[in-house]
Each structure stands twice: as structure tokens, then as C-alpha cells.
Structure 1
Amino acid sequence: MKFIHGLLIGALCVSSFAMDEPAHTISADHQDYLYTGRIDFSDKKAPQLSWPGSSIKANFTGTSLAIVLDDQLGKNFFNVIIDGETQHPYVLEAKQGEQTYVIATSLAAGKHSLEIYKRTEGEEGATHFKGLVLDKDANLLKAPARPKRRMEIYGDSITSGMGNEGADNGADHLLSEKNNYWAYGAITARNLNAELHTISQSGIGIMISWFPFIMPQFYDQLNAVGDNDSQWDFSRWTPDVVVVNLFQNDSWLIDREKRLQPVPNDAQRVQAYIDFVRTIRAKYPKAQIICALGSMDATANPTWPGYVKTAVARMQQENNDKKIDTIFFPFNGYGHHPRIAQHKANAALLTAFIKKKMKW
């Protein structure tokens, strides 16, 4: 095991450190798990998590805990939070294939809480959850209550939490330092006691991405692993608030990299944004939509925030849409992805904005 930023990286596999026997497995289809996110339940005994922020909560008894996962690529990281210890969780580095990870062997006897939270995103692959291994006489208790408020966010690497645990002057591409739990959207949802679905992908844009698909082709997938034919059923879950934080990659790829040819004019950029947000509005006619941008260099000057403002003003007028607004996060001042300090600051702004809009 190694420590990074005070977090325990990697749980011990059963093969190298066995739990006290006997133990038993609580299958993933047990009624007392609380699942959050766009999770594929095609196999109820092995639900598939792919989106950042997908999570499983449970309450349990006993003195030991192990988790059974079957990971697609061996690139995912998960926070394993026991008894509310969010500052120093176990950080589980998943290995490829099915593995049993021993998390704890000497918990105090009695009741405990658990959250398994996907830090990484679809580009790191999907993971099947196959249950918990507990003491022989231990069991799951009643599931935690599901929050009544609902929030959804569409975004890119900023929303995913890329590099947010990196040093200010360090690399920000390391998978071990990508932590959606401390991304601004996730912090905001916790501030508001809202259930959150995060639909994000590092490098994605509305008109162009660093790869061959864009958010209008990706937003409706059940599975977050690349561009695929899976379909999310929007009738399953309806948010009260939707945040859209896109255009950072468009700004780079269009203005700096000149990768979209012919170069779209201002009107085309605004129209592309309108088209996507109207697609979201069609799914959620009653939701409050907040069109955000930042906190990277797309907000360093007024050009790209101006496109968002123009788009929102048109939708307010042309659609008589009274439940759409804008918020902009100030440029973080350097060329890297925002770190946790900036995410917390952005979350404070967004939390206050939503509280006012929703009267929460």
C-alpha cells in the first residue's frame, strides 16, 4: 500500500491478506443497497457502474468488510468511506477482472455505514459490483434514506474532477489524482443534500471534442465507456436542477487548435449551444437549468461566456423559458485543471445560486 495526499491507495486483495473466516457475501441485488447514478442493472447480481460519481451506500454490522468488484480495464479508483470518514477514505485501486478487496478487518463491533464512490470516469472503463463480504453473523441494515432533491450535471474534465488532487505545480493527468468526490458539482450536491447524476467526460465539447464524439451524441447513454449504443431511460429519474458546464474544450479546439473547419462563426457557436440545451429542456420541461462555464481559461475573457449569455437570453425570449439562467466561475489563474481549493470555491458559488433559485 502507498499513501498519496494522506489517502490510503489500494485495498488489500484477499489473496494477500485474508479476512478472518468464516465470512459470507451479501449479493449486489440485496434490497438494502442504495445505488446512485446511471447504473446498468441488466444483471442485478452484478450492476455496472461507469459514470463518475456513481455510488453504492449501505449500513452493515460486523468487524470486517471486503468488496467484490469486476473491473473492465484495471484503471478505476473508488473512494470507500466507512462511518462518514470523508477526509481520509480508503482509495481502492481496482485491478482488472474480478477481485475481492479487503477494506477492514478490525472495525469496532456494532453498526457501520459505507459508501463506495467512483472517483474516475467512463474513459477508465466500467466496473461490476458483485457484493460485500461480511462476518458470518453480520448483515446489512436498512438502506440509507435517498435524498428528495435531485441534481444533474453535464460537463467535461472540470466536472469530472480531473487532476483536482494534484499539486498546484504538478501534473494533472494521473488517474490516482482524479477524484469526482471533490469536484464542484459533487460538493454542491452534498451541500444541498441532493442526489446527483454526473454526466461528464474529460475532453468533451458541444461542437468538437478531443475524440470523435461530442456531448450531444453522448449525453443520453446508460454506459459512459466511449461512444456506444446504450440508452438511458430518462423516465427513470428526473432532476430538479440541471447544470450544464461545457464549451471549455470547444474554446480550445476551435480558437486555439483550429481543429473545426470551417471555423464556425459566432452565430453558429451560439446555435450549437442552444440546440444542446433545448435537447435537455425537452427531457426535463420543469427543471431549473443553470448554464455554467469555468473555472478554466474559457472564462478568462468575455468571448465564450458571451456565447452562453446570448444563448440563454434567446431561450428565455424565444421559448418563454423562465427557468434557465447563467453562472460563471472565475478563471483559476493558471493552466491546469482546478484543484480542490478552486472546486470548493466554485461549489460555494453554485450552492448559493441554487439555494436562491430553488428556495432550498
Structure 2
Amino acid sequence: MLSANQLISADHKNYLYSGRIDFSQPQAPLLSWPGSSIKANFTGSYLAVVLDDQKGKNFFNVIIDGDELSPYVLEAKQGQHTYVISSVLADKVHSLEIYKRTEGEEGSTYFKGLELADKSSLLAPPQRWSRRMEIYGDSITSGMGNEGADNGADHLQSEKNNYLAYGAIAARELKAELHTISQSGIGIMISWFDFIMPQFYDQLSAVGNNDSNWDFKLWTPDVVLVNLMQNDSWLVDREKRLQPIPNDAQRIAHYQDFVAGIRQLYPDAYIICALGSMDATKSEKWPNYIRAAVNNLKTSGDSKIDTLFFEFTGYGQHPRVAQHKANAKKLAAFVREKMHWD
């Protein structure tokens, strides 16, 4: 006879949520941003995840007992479904992380809870890391195509894995909780679609340009990384889609205004203005716009701001995991130095 299972509702106190998550329905928190995650500790041999997905395009890593090299990759179907992760776990205490690999363009997902064996339980969650990082970025930050073959396509949803993007890797190395505010194709002046990061960065929901509002008082980062302008470089210089074409001073001003807005939100955070590792760092043109903006902000009295550039490797597509790991190493070392984190 099959043993009965129990649903541990999503509003249980022993879940540890991370990211910009919409809790307006406590029993169905809504995850949309890449890197949004749920951690828990549980007992027993059975585990299933209950999700209600908007579009049927999202992918999640389900990591049990810290085995991040062999995650269960969950491909969400549209609507509500129960996904059995395992029925043959060792009958002991296990750790769990459910991590959104994909981003807002794949839609949002309601987390409805976990199914455990009838006599199993959800234990106290892991401790939340006290350090905090936030990143504003584009497809590089999201992890677009990072699991693709070097000679293959890099647009497949199944090969977009934010868990192995440079920011997420660096944050884990630094033991810092990370909020990733990114959207493939987005820019500061122009995007491949009809909204830009200055219209998008303050949303609670990552699904397109919408009227949701994130409460910045809920969570304050110690470090903010801005890695934008790759798409601007293509769309302004190569595609010439922004007319009239902005001059150098206007490009600097747009970037500077965005970063100044972030500074207003976070007076005490250390802001890192980054670029790369795609071809916007092939020459010094676009890095110099960022340097100029940062120098202007420093001249205005901002002492907790700096630049960091990830070198263009010559690879013509989105960075693969190996490049993300190298960039993560550089970022983590930079943050350690600036923040005096051991």
C-alpha cells in the first residue's frame, strides 16, 4: 500500500525565501526574477514540489543536500502541477534549494509548497546570510546560453542557468544573499524591446514592463553591481536604432543618471559599475563612458563607487559557464578587497 503524503503549504514559517518575491498571496508566493530561491530542511525519503507556472517556459534547479553539480532540473509545465523529485531519498534530514534558472521573459511561477511523506517534517531553515549583494544587468547577468555548447545556439531556455552566472557564483563564494535584477536584451538608453532598465529596475514583477512596485525598504544591499550598456552598444552603434544618435556626453549622462538613482536608494552601499564580458569591452569606447560617469559621481562626493571590467575573450556569443566562473573569481576578489570581507 502506498504511504500517504502531506502538503507543506508555502506560508510555513520554515521556508527561507530569497529574491524579489511577491507575497501578496502567502500560500502562493510568486517568483519571477532569475535567482529567486526557496531553501528548506526536511526529513524523509519523499519529495515533490508543487508549482503553478504562467507560461510553461521556466526551469528550476532543485538541489538536494548541497549537490549543486547534479541538480534535478525541473522544467515547469503551464498551470499547476506536482513534480516528484524523488521517492527514494535516504530516510534522514535533507537540505533543499529550489532556484529559478530562467528570467522574467519566461514568466512567473507560484510556489504552492512541498509534498513530503506523511510522517516527515519541515525543520528549521538554514541561516540567512548577513551579507547582501544586488545586480542590475542584462542577458550576461541572467546567464543566457551559458550551458550551451561553445559551437551551439545560446538562446535556449533549457540552457539559461542563472545559478551558474557570474554574479550568482561570486555571491555564493562570498556567502552573500543576492538579488538579481536582470533582463536579456535590456539597456539603459535603448533595448531590443520597448522598455529600458530605468523603467524596469523598480518592479516587484520581472514579467515585462508593468505597474508593480518593489519596496526598496524591505531589503538593502551592501554591494550593488551595475553591468549594463552591452545592448546599448549594439543598438546605438551597430544597429543605429536610437535616433537621433546620442553623442558621447548624452551616453555618459544617461548612465550616470541611472547610477545616481541607485545611489539615492542606497546611500551606504558600495556601487560597482561594470561592463562585460561580451564585445562592449572589446575596445575602450564604452568602458570610457562608464569611467567618465563614475568620475563625475566621485567629483560630486561619492566615495563608495568604482569600476570593474570583464575582458572580452573574443568569443562571439553569450559567455559560457567557464567564462562566468572566471568573471565570478574576478568579481569576488574585487568585492573582498573593497568591502574587507574575508
Q: TM-score range by the shorter chain?
A: over 0.9
Q: Deviations over 1:177-236 (max 9, x none)?
A: 000000000001001000000000000000000000000000000000000000000000
**Equivalent of residue 226 in structure 1, options 200, 208, 217:** 208
Q: C-alpha distance in 1, partners of 2:280/2:175?
A: 30
Kept after mapping to 2: 8 A contact 1:208/1:253: yes
The C-alpha deviation readout for 1:61-82, integer Å capped at 9, x for no partner, is 0001000000000000000000
* C-alpha distance in structure 2 between counterparts of 1:82 and 1:143, whole Å: 14
Q: Contact 1:76 / 1:119 at 8 angstroms: preserved in 2? A: yes
Which residue number corresponds to residue 154 of structure 2? 172
State the partner residue of 1:294: 276
Match of 1:336 among 317, 328, 331: 317
1:21 deviates by 2.8
Match of 2:55 in 1: 73
Letter in 1 for 2:61: N
Aligned position for 1:348: 329
Give SS of 1:322's match: coil
2: CA distance, partners of 1:174 / 1:110: 37
Equivalences for 1:14-163 in 2 at 5 Å? 20-163=2-145
What is the letter of the counterpart of residue 322 of structure 1? S
Structure 1 contact 60–113 (Cα < 8 Å) conserved: yes
Contact 1:53 1:197 in 2 (8 A): yes
SS at match of 2:123: coil
Q: What is the root-mean-square deviation of aligned Cα atoms in Å? A: 0.7
Mapped partners of 1:143, 1:67: distance in 2: 17
User: Which whole-Å deviations, capped at 9, do the CAs of 1:103-132 have from their partners, x for residues lacking one?
Assistant: 000000110000000000000000000000
Q: Please list the CA deviations of residues 304-329 of structure 1 after superposition, one character each: whole Å capped at 9, or x if unmatched.
A: 000000000000002x1000000000
Q: For 2:181, what is the secondary structure of its paired residue?
A: strand
Find the aligned partners of 1:88 and 1:175 in 2 and give their Cα distance.
18
Distance 1:231 1:158 in 2: 24
What is the rounded CA distance, in whole Å, between the counterparts of 1:271 and 1:292 in structure 2? 16
Counterparts in 2 of 1:20 and 1:251: CA distance versus 1, 3 Å: farther
Which residue identity lines up with residue 138 of structure 2 in the other structure?
A: D
Tell me the secondary structure at the aligned position of residue 21 of structure 2. coil
Contact 1:332/1:338, CA 8 A, preserved across alignment: no
What TM-score, normalized to structure 2? Answer: 0.99
Q: Tell me how far apart the structure 1 counterparts of residues 72 and 92 of structure 2 sit (CA, whole Å).
A: 20
Aligned residues with identical type, % of pairs = 72
What residue is the counterpart of 2:198 in the other structure?
216
SS at match of 1:32: coil
CA distance in 1, matches of 2:37, 2:147: 20
Moved more, 238-247 or 19-28: 19-28
Q: Is the 8 A contact 1:20 1:105 kept in 2?
A: no
Aligned residues: 341
Distance in 1 of aligned mates of 2:53 and 2:12: 20
Q: Does 2:295 correspond to 1:313?
A: yes
Q: State the match for 1:184 in structure 2.
A: 166
State the distance in 2 between where 1:338 and 1:260 align.
Answer: 26
4+ residue stretches of structure 1 with deviation over 2 A?
A: none
Distance 1:331 1:170 in 2: 19
Partner of 1:11: none
| CA–CA distance in structure 2, aligned partners of residues 263 and 299 of structure 1 | 20
> How does 1:221-300 map onto structure 2 within 5 Å?
221-300=203-282
Q: Cα distance, 1:20 vs. partner?
A: 4.2
Q: For 1:212, what is the secondary structure of its paired residue?
A: coil
Paired residue secondary structure (1:251):
helix
| TM-score with structure 1 setting the length | 0.94
Structure 2 letter corresponding to 1:63? S
- 8 Å CA contact 1:153–1:243 kept in 2: the answer is yes
